[in-house]
């Protein structure tokens, strides 16, 4: 059973209330996400960007990536490292969950995926909503703690604790999750 890597809202201008704080913490998660992404690419496992469209229905994902690359601060640094590559998928979402009103369920079904490694921002908002929806749909879900961020570390810690306690999810670090996945294949 091959897994998919979901990268939630990392392509982001962080130009909203609390966005500066979130951007700083997202930048710290960028390296571990990039490591996971490369490991998934090496194994030919799918990578999917699940990104907010920030209520701009005329904007394509590639337009958002271009804006982020030119925006100063964490936005451009993250886009430089995590910008989409050929063969990767992307889904634009209108709300918090990557499943709500998107093509994500159809893509996952077409790819015959049953396991998701969910990364990105914000741990206590869009990541949590996507994790809950994935869990309710019967996916095996892992959320590497070093691959997610919130506006404050305590908010991220609380959301990860909720995931562990209420859904029995694996929230160990990226390296441990990757070793676990490799051993199961």
Phi, then psi, of 43 in degrees rounded to 5: -100, 5
Q: Where are the alpha helices (DSSP H) in the chain?
A: 19-42, 61-70, 74-82, 104-110, 128-136, 153-167, 174-184
Q: Are 52 and 126 in contact (CB under 8 A)?
A: yes
Nearest to 120 by CA among 159, 88, 85: 159
Helical axes 153-167 vs 128-136, angle rounded to 10°? 10
Is the Cα dihedral 158, 178, 36, 47 positive or negative?
Answer: negative
Low pLDDT (below 70) residues in the chain: none
* Dihedral over alpha carbons 134, 111, 113, 178 (to 10 degrees): -110
Query: What domains sit in the chain, N to C, each tagged with a CATH number?
Result: 4-184 (3.40.50.850)
Which pTM was predicted? 0.96
Output the 3-class SS for 61-109.
HHHHHHHHHHCCCHHHHHHHHHCCCCCCEEEEECCCCCCCCCCHHHHHH
Q: Are 138 and 151 in contact (CB under 8 A)?
A: no
DSSP state of 123: I
pLDDT value at position 1?
A: 79
Helical axes 19-42 vs 74-82, angle rounded to 10°? 10
pLDDT value at position 18?
A: 92
* Half-sphere exposure in the Cβ direction for 30 (13 Å, CA): 20
């Amino acid at each position: 059973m091959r897994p998919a890597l979901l990268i939630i809202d990392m392509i982001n201008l962080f130009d909203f209330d609390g966005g500066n704080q979130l951007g700083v913490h997202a930048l710290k998660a960028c390296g571990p996400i990039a490591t996971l992404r490369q490991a998934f690419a090496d194994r030919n496992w799918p990578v999917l960007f699940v990104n907010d469209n920030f209520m701009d229905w005329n904007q394509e994902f590639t337009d958002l990536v271009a804006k982020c690359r030119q925006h100063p601060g964490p936005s451009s640094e993250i886009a430089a490292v995590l910008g989409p590559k050929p063969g990767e998928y992307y889904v634009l979402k209108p709300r918090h969950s990557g499943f709500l009103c998107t093509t994500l369920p159809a893509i996952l079904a077409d790819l015959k995926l049953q396991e998701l490694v969910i990364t990105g921002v914000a741990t206590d908002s869009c990541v949590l909503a996507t994790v809950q929806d994935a869990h309710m749909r019967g996916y095996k879900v892992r959320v590497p703690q070093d691959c997610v961020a919130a506006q404050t570390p305590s908010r991220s810690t609380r959301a990860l604790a909720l995931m562990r306690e209420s859904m029995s999810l694996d929230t160990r670090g990226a390296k441990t999750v990757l070793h676990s996945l490799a051993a199961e294949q």
